[in-house]
Amino acid sequence: MEVHLTTPLKTEDLEKLKIGDQVFITGTVYTGRDAAHKRLVELLQKGEKLPFNAEGQIIYYVGPAPAPPGKPIGSAGPTTSYRMDPYAPALLDVGMKAMIGKGPRDQSVIDSMIKNKAVYLAAVGGAAVVVAKSIKESKIIAYEDLGPEAIREMKVENFPCVVANDVYGNDIYKSGVEQYKR
């Protein structure tokens, strides 16, 4: 099924999603990789505010290439998500509703998605230039010292993804393997 979502995300919209659904996102998406995630979780542990309001938002695991002249961003393909697994539950607990990356997630993250009614979306690796075309604006909002891994606020239009984990704990990385075995 093809679904169009606009941020901030609402639980009732996510409850309709099933693994394998094609999702096109429009609105604001934040970026961050492991170094930024570590800092975000440290802020939460200190009781401090995040550099953005996580409620209903999406974080994209990407370290984009520098923007060529006239473009908001360079190549922006997903990074492997398991490196964010130690930090993802804390962000889901404060309202984050979706993560975008590639590769399977740890069971602790899947359990947190079920608890928080959140989803994990897979972006197509190897199609970074295509993905970047859906990014209309990009600005660094935190941790500029991390270079490409700084947190960015991006405005996206019809950003393409596939539901890899739904709010019910279904996992395309497991069911896909089982289906292939048959």
Give the span between the Cα atoms of 136 and 152, in whole angstroms: 13
| Per annotation, catalytic residue among 5, 36, 37, 123 | 37
The yes-or-no answer on residue 4 being catalytic is no
Give the span between the Cα atoms of 56 and 92, in whole angstroms: 9
Rounded to 10 degrees, the C-alpha dihedral 71/163/166/35 comes to -40
Do 30 and 96 contact (CB within 8 A), yes or no? no
- In sequence order, what are the beta bridge partners of 80? 102
Q: Does the CA dihedral 148-152-155-159 come out positive or negative?
A: positive
In Å, how far from its chain's centre is CA 32? 9
* Residues marked as catalytic: 37
